[in-house]
Amino acid sequence: MQEEQKRVYCELSEIFKNIDKEKVMKIPIEILEEIKKNTNEDVRIHIDWDRPLSEQELSEDTLNILGWINVAFWTEGAEEKQKLYSRFYKNKREQEELYNEYNQISVYEEGIFDKLKNRMKKFT
């Protein structure tokens, strides 16, 4: 497993340890077990809970996965979920367009985000 993927699991684990347990319990156990299994307890992640997660040095994959978890398991109402899904897909398309336009390394690559996203789709 790549170092970046290991870090994502560690960041997710740290976040889940520090948020409302009721929210965490809404995430299917299979996903939580996957994160726990791949978390390295020797890696220390510091999160300043007085600042938004988006303003911290968290992996982009971590933030994307949290976004999917928010939509799939924490957001109530089909209309609100649809708005959030639309925003995610719009962002993905924009990233792909930038890649095609500038022919640079893709900002959207298969990886941990896709792996967990595909597992989440089984539960939604």
CA distances to 2, 20, 44, 70, 92 from 85, in Å? 28, 23, 32, 10, 11
Residue 92 has pLDDT above 80, yes or no: no
The Cα–Cα gap between 97 and 91 comes to 10
Q: How many helices (H) and strands (E) does the chain have?
A: 6, 0
For 90, the token pair is 């719009």
Which tens digit of pLDDT belongs to each residue from 29-75?
999 999 999 998 888 899 999 999 989 999 988 998 998 898 889 88
pLDDT at 113 over 50: yes
Does position 98 have pLDDT exceeding 60, yes or no?
yes
- Amino acid identity at 96: E
